[in-house]
Amino acid sequence: MRGNDWLETVMADIKGWWHRVWRKKQPTCDIADPAALVASFLNGLLRGIAPDRERLMAILYQPLADRSRWWLAAVRKLAADEGKLTAAQGDSAWRLARILFLPSYWQAILKGPHPELKEELLEVWGLMAVPDVAPLLRTAVMDRVPTVGLVAAMDYARWPGPEVTAFFLELLLAEGGPWLDRSGRALALRRQTEGIDIWLGLLQLARDERENVRARAWAVVTSFGPLAEAEEATVGAAVDDGLMEALQDPSVPVRIRALEALGSVARPSLVRQAVAQLSNGDGRIRVEAVRALGRLALLNLLAPEDRQLAYAGVAACLHDDDYRVVGHAQQVLPYLVEG
């Protein structure tokens, strides 16, 4: 715990004790509009003016929930014109939050059962890029309520810095929650700025000793789509190598995810490996192999000889014992003819 955080915790404890013992002696908040007063504190901090001590004490004696509500209103009003706070505005807003002893209160809110309060906080935190917001966003990412966790993931994914990418890659190792979806969406959003590092991280996870981690890595790749030009030049060969290795994986879920990724990222160099999976003993793998070949054909990425090879393999699937394989083969076959 940093020194300032410890000091704020101690001061909050002392103030709570003071409130209980000297409750009758405390000044009441006789300000006509406390929300406007908090907004004036924020405007003053933007000009380098600290809040008036007497009026600040009147606000500090009010419940944390009220202080948080007034702070949120002040920040929303400040951001209303441009839709986002400048760096200076964000710093001043967070300084006011610390003066009002709000960060520790917000941490408690994030650990509690009130999604509507968390959503309200995220709405405002998303307007500012203040370093102290990052730990709160990371906590919110782990919330099981989608309207909280997913929004926090998208907000945090927009932050600069390699530690953000590292966080979402590490999230793929976590068990027992909707972490795959949140990590996948966040990493897909970050590809424009850290695409190479993301690919390298995912390829490393794709070779993890744990089956579920390998499957998750390829599931994230499935959400990416084709490689960008810079990605192709740098990691294209490594992606192909990783997929070829995954298509030989003893795990059925890993092979399925790898075939999904093959079609999504459009790797025509792996047509023969996909065709080979059409004879796999597991019907789920054969289904995904058919779908991957259909995706490549739909994108018109198949060379004539590869198209003929894929056509022959998918046509044979029309007589498969698994009705799912037959159904997908019927859908895909016309794309292999029309090329």
| Position 23, amino acid | R
Spell out the CATH class of 266-339.
mainly alpha
Question: Each residue of 120-146: b (16+ CB within 10 Å) or e?
Answer: bbbebbbbbbbebbbebbbbbbbbebe
| Position 180, amino acid | L
Note the pLDDT of residue 32.
80
Distance CA 222, CA 261 (A): 4
Contacts for 5 with CB less than 8 Å, ≥ 6 apart: 103, 104
Assigned token pair, 120: 């309200």
Note the pLDDT of residue 23.
46
Q: From the first residue on, what is the mean pLDDT of each consecutive set of 10 residues in the chain (339 residues)?
A: 49 52 47 90 94 92 95 93 84 96 95 94 91 94 94 94 95 92 95 93 97 96 92 96 97 97 95 96 96 94 94 96 96 84
Predicted TM-score (pTM) of this structure: 0.83
Answer for the pair 262, 234: CB distance below 8 angstroms, yes or no. Answer: no
The DSSP symbol for 102 reads -
Structural domain boundaries of the chain? Answer: 1-159, 162-237, 266-339
Report the residue count for the chain.
Answer: 339
Note the pLDDT of residue 22.
42
Distance CA 222, CA 96 (A): 43
